Homo-oligomer: A and B are copies of this chain.
Amino acid sequence: MPKVKRIDHIALVVENLESPLSFWQDALGLNLSGTLHVPQEEAKIAFLPLGSSEIELVHPTNPESGLGKYLEKRGPGMHHICLEVDDIEGMLDQLRAKGIQLINETPRLGEGGRRYAFIHPKSAYGVLVELYEYRADVGKLD
């Protein structure tokens, strides 16, 4: 049975990285492990590790992208939850068998070979859920 292991990260959509970092880093005291420009996702991301999870600030660099339109429509705030699973294909099969609607029927390949897929929020009661499988042979980020 495929298994969910932990919350990998919570993604927050933001209008820029600097001002929200003044809250998360300067006021709350979280560590900033780095920022990354991900052209494939048309986003700049700031990573704030916290225990065994991470807070990610995601700034869409293209207002016409899906995330850019989401920000325009709903304003900044929580965007999605990413769960680490031990077997992403197995989990997608299990979800399909339970009638869960997926955004990605097969895992997408991200930076460094990272494999991930999104569940449709219609099937998750308004929550956008990302699944991600960690593999030791590929880095999470190059």
How far is A6 from B48 in the complex, measured between Cα atoms in Å? Answer: 11
Give the contact stretch, choosing among A23-31, A33-41, A60-68.
Answer: A23-31
How far is A46 from B95 in the complex, measured between Cα atoms in Å? Answer: 21
User: How many A residues, CB 8 Å from partner?
Assistant: 41
Asked if A10 and B12 sit within 8 Å, CB to CB, the answer is no
A45: interface (CB < 8 Å): no
How far is A139 from B75 in the complex, measured between Cα atoms in Å? Answer: 37
* Contact flags A96-107 to B (C-beta < 8 A → 1, else 0): 001010000000
Give 10 nearest A-B pairs by CB, closest first.
Answer: A6-B51, A77-B126, A76-B126, A27-B98, A78-B78, A20-B125, A76-B125, A7-B53, A27-B100, A52-B52
Q: Which positions in A face B, CB cutoff 8 Å?
A: 1-7, 10, 12, 14-15, 19-20, 23, 26-30, 50-53, 55, 75-78, 81, 83, 91, 94-95, 98, 100, 121, 123-127
- Starting from the known contacts A6-B51, A6-B52, A52-B52, 18 additional A-B residue pairs (CB-CB under 8 Å) come to A2-B29, A4-B29, A4-B30, A4-B50, A7-B7, A7-B53, A12-B125, A12-B126, A23-B125, A27-B95, A27-B98, A52-B53, A76-B126, A76-B127, A77-B121, A77-B126, A78-B78, A78-B81
